[in-house]
Structure 1
Amino acid sequence: MNYLKHLFGTALCILVTVTSYGCNLKAKEPNNTALISTSISEKPAKQYVKIALLLDTSNSMDGLINQAKAQLWDIVNEFTHAKCGNDVRPSLEIALYEYGNDNLSSREGYIRQVIGFSNDLDEISEKLFSLTTNGGEEYCGEVIQTSLKQLDWGKNTDDLKMIFIAGNEPFTQGKLNYKDAAHNAKEKDVIVNTIFCGNYEQGISTMWKNGATLTGGDYMAIDHNRQVVHINTPYDDVIIRLNSKLNNTYISYGSLGRQKKALQSVQDSNAAEMEAAVAVKRSVSKSSRLYKNSQWDLVDAIEDDEEILSELKEEELPQELQGKSESEIKTYINKKKAEREDIQNQIQELNAKREAYIAEHQKEETGELENALLSAIKTQASKKNYTWD
């Protein structure tokens, strides 16, 4: 089951890689305007890493789904430290599809978009935990094509766009030829990476490798039922306790506020029920730049738009802020912001010690998926001049 973890990590890293190259190019382009006037400084264009995960949810894929739930946070944590050549840090968006499930519509090819491209990590986690398995027909070419048509991949050639499709039936099933889907992916500058859940040679003979090769992607074969071994560290309990304090710094507002704050706690519980190490990884993600909740949290919202307080109605504020002046509200928000930053810094410092502990106690052998993913990441990174810090 290490496979999916690395699958996400790979997607993430590779994505990050390409992005950096685009940023690098823009950083080096001569700017004649700058020669005329240095008083105008333009912010570098925003860069995106877009990852679509296409997961087989037929009966045999319970292990795959469980691993996906746990490894979302590995992807986020890896991506947190990535940056482009001009120091721009790309934004991460993840989409999720399920296919090959009898509960899905046969008219839709047993395919369902679970969530489109989103940076709402709590919602992505919620959707992953909502997945269930059931037998069905697995049409790889069709689910790839569906994701290409439905998702907003954008037209920025500097963005890194990737599909990761995982399953265990022949890649050739279905009316739509996978080669046509691969051709369409190349036209959209989307890299297709394939993960066959089974024997490596069987994946080759059933065209999973060819499905990746056609777009310059990577082919991986994994044992999707392999148990992932998490290494517990002396820092885990402290990080989890800090996460509880972190939740208290969120100030919900608007119609979504209460619902989204409750969702935050539910996803903490979902992670903890899987394993303490998963809860720790999620806590680390929540202390990173990628965990932003401007749509329902006033601390994040006011950082994005200082005028938001003047736009909110009294009833849209949390009860503790109703009847307060704007000055009093800002003081309260600034206090919560300072508390949050302090807690996040503590988590990051403890996580650095945690990672050092894991590196010291980890066996040299890693999962086959992990090896494949790291190899793909390094290859892509070398081409795109991406860096991590």
Structure 2
Amino acid sequence: MKTRLIAQSIATALTIMGLSAGINSASAKSIEVERIVAPQVMPQVAPIKIPSVITQPKIEVVFVLDTTGSMSGLINAAKEKIWSIASTMAQAQTAPEIKMGLVAYRDRGDKYVTQNVDLSEDLDSMYSKLMDFKAQGGGDSPESVNAALYDAVHKMSWNQDSNTYKVVFLVGDAPAHMDYQDDVKYPETLCIASDKGIIINAIQSGNNYGTTKHWKHIAGLGQGNFFKVSNSGNAVAIATPFDKDLAKLSNELDKTRVYYGSSDDRVKQEAKKAAGSKLYKESSVASQARRATFNTSSSGKTNFLGEKELVDSIASGDIALESIASDELPAAMKTMKPIEQQRYIKEKSVARKELQSKIRQLAEKRDAFLKEKVEATGGRKNSLDSQIFDAIQEQSADKGLVYDKKDMKY
């Protein structure tokens, strides 16, 4: 019995190893073998390919703007062109996240020395502040450039990521006051800017020799560009047959936003809506058309929506309508039945898509119209917005931002 079990074990092992054929037939007959199940061979599975994560490029831009009396024309140019600058930046091959900030400066003895608007994707609110700045004060040549650059470098919420393109555009027509004993002088500030990876560009309005000397020094220390524009900014500002319709569609698009959240959320949302309303009342039709173009781009989505926008949150699956407490719903929806609420959101979503489609179609026609006009007049080369775009295109390439010259917006 013991010999039989040993023989059986040997036969089993040989069978598994594929060697049982080597046993002569006489020996095989004397071995009683139980039914053996061959080991399962696992099918080869191709390795799972994990898609590489495409990191969205980031752009952070702070405009440091002289707002003294002599800067009236350039301030107006900035107000007109901020949206086209944003739209142009949005044309990178991978749509970037865009934040903008603002430092307005004058001099000691004026109404203010500096006023700051922190970096934010909420360009509506930044633009609303820009609209408030008027060219006043000044009178003497030097201005508080040192204080303005200090605020730009130290008081803005700059991203710590080294892959973010961080840039300052200093715009002014007067040199820096270098005689204030308690100022941090710009060479020291620009050293800190370099450590933070912030590029400083200097844009001179006019032809003041002292300004040219300082601005070239600032651009050199800031690893940026120096260039000049006229007192008007040489901004390309051509009206188009599409501006009025784009402005109207933009206003209608804003009305598709449905906000939810706490009382604190509502305060922010009301401020966001107020900034938009101010834009429609006080800015030019062309600016409204440019904003419409930006807001329908991938980069402009955050500016358009703001925080806790219900239509987009539901469409993206971020939140379910039934999970929202009644007191966090907008007033118009609180008295609705659930099915009516769903219908209301659906109607807003459909209207939004239609409006966005119309805006994109008109924006393409507007772009084609402007390119033809600008090329015919040769007005692009020395304009404020063109030179800003050229600097951005050159300086941001190592941050994953790739542009084409034809992407310039007006």
How much has 1:258 moved relative to structure 2? 4.3
1:373 corresponds to: 388
1:280 corresponds to: 289
- The question of whether the paired residues in 2 share the 8 Å contact of 1:242 and 1:343 is answered with yes
1:232 corresponds to: 239
How much has 1:201 moved relative to structure 2? 5.3
How much has 1:103 moved relative to structure 2? 4.6
Q: 1:198 and 2:199 equivalent?
A: no
2:123 corresponds to: 121
- Which structure is higher in RCO with an 8 Å CA cutoff and minimum separation 6? 1
Query: Are the structure 2 counterparts of residues 302 and 64 from structure 1 closer, same or farther at C-alpha, using a change threshold of 3 Å?
Result: farther
Matches within 5 A, 1:70-219: 70-84=80-94, 89-101=95-107, 102-104=109-111, 110-113=113-116, 115-136=117-138, 138-171=143-176, 173=178, 174=180, 175-199=183-207, 202-205=210-213, 207-219=214-226
- The question of whether the paired residues in 2 share the 8 Å contact of 1:260 and 1:296 is answered with no
Query: Are the structure 2 counterparts of residues 292 and 40 from structure 1 closer, same or farther at C-alpha, using a change threshold of 3 Å?
Result: farther
Q: 1:48 & 1:327 partners in 2: Cα distance?
A: 40
How much has 1:321 moved relative to structure 2? 1.1
Match of 1:82, SS?
coil
- The question of whether the paired residues in 2 share the 8 Å contact of 1:57 and 1:99 is answered with yes
Pick one of 401, 404, 407 that aligns with 1:386.
401
Output the aligned Cα RMSD: 2.8
In the superposition, the TM-score normalised over structure 2's length comes to 0.74
Q: 1:69 & 1:118 partners in 2: Cα distance?
A: 17
Match of 2:383, SS?
helix
1:64 corresponds to: 74
Match of 1:78, SS?
helix
Q: 2:110 & 2:339 partners in 1: Cα distance?
A: 53
- The alignment-based identity, stated in percent, is 26
2:346 corresponds to: 334
Pick one of 202, 222, 233 that aligns with 2:229.
222
Match of 2:283, SS?
helix
1:15-51 deviation per Cα after TM superposition (whole angstroms, max 9, x unaligned): xxxxxxxxxxxxxxxxxxxxx9636556444432111
In the superposition, the TM-score normalised over structure 1's length comes to 0.78
Query: Are the structure 2 counterparts of residues 367 and 39 from structure 1 closer, same or farther at C-alpha, using a change threshold of 3 Å?
Result: closer
Match of 2:163, SS?
coil
Q: 2:347 & 2:356 partners in 1: Cα distance?
A: 14
Query: Are the structure 2 counterparts of residues 305 and 212 from structure 1 closer, same or farther at C-alpha, using a change threshold of 3 Å?
Result: farther
Match of 2:247, SS?
helix
How much has 1:94 moved relative to structure 2? 0.6
Query: Are the structure 2 counterparts of residues 168 and 381 from structure 1 closer, same or farther at C-alpha, using a change threshold of 3 Å?
Result: same
- The question of whether the paired residues in 2 share the 8 Å contact of 1:315 and 1:322 is answered with yes
Q: Read off the aligned partner of 2:380 and give its amino acid letter.
A: T
Match of 1:261, SS?
helix
- The question of whether the paired residues in 2 share the 8 Å contact of 1:203 and 1:221 is answered with no
Query: Are the structure 2 counterparts of residues 303 and 214 from structure 1 closer, same or farther at C-alpha, using a change threshold of 3 Å?
Result: farther
How much has 1:72 moved relative to structure 2? 1.4
- The question of whether the paired residues in 1 share the 8 Å contact of 2:233 and 2:383 is answered with no
Query: Are the structure 2 counterparts of residues 104 and 281 from structure 1 closer, same or farther at C-alpha, using a change threshold of 3 Å?
Result: same
What is the total number of aligned residue pairs between the two structures? 341
Q: Read off the aligned partner of 1:198 and give its amino acid letter.
A: G
1:48 corresponds to: 58
Q: 1:297 and 2:306 equivalent?
A: no
Pick one of 340, 349, 352 that aligns with 2:361.
349
How much has 1:68 moved relative to structure 2? 1.8
Match of 2:305, SS?
coil
Per mean C-alpha deviation after superposition, the further-off stretch among 66-75 and 300-309 is: 300-309
Q: 1:319 and 2:331 equivalent?
A: yes
How much has 1:127 moved relative to structure 2? 0.7
Q: 1:226 & 1:46 partners in 2: Cα distance?
A: 32
- The question of whether the paired residues in 1 share the 8 Å contact of 2:327 and 2:334 is answered with yes
Match of 2:168, SS?
strand
Query: Are the structure 2 counterparts of residues 160 and 355 from structure 1 closer, same or farther at C-alpha, using a change threshold of 3 Å?
Result: same
1:326-364 deviation per Cα after TM superposition (whole angstroms, max 9, x unaligned): 554344223312221221121111111111112222212
Per mean C-alpha deviation after superposition, the further-off stretch among 147-156 and 374-383 is: 374-383
Per mean C-alpha deviation after superposition, the further-off stretch among 298-307 and 356-365 is: 298-307
Q: 1:299 & 1:168 partners in 2: Cα distance?
A: 46
Q: Is the radius of gyration larger for structure 1 or structure 2?
A: 2
- The question of whether the paired residues in 2 share the 8 Å contact of 1:253 and 1:317 is answered with yes
Structure 2, unaligned runs of 5 or more: 1-45
Q: 1:299 & 1:229 partners in 2: Cα distance?
A: 37
- The question of whether the paired residues in 1 share the 8 Å contact of 2:165 and 2:399 is answered with no
How much has 1:130 moved relative to structure 2? 1.6
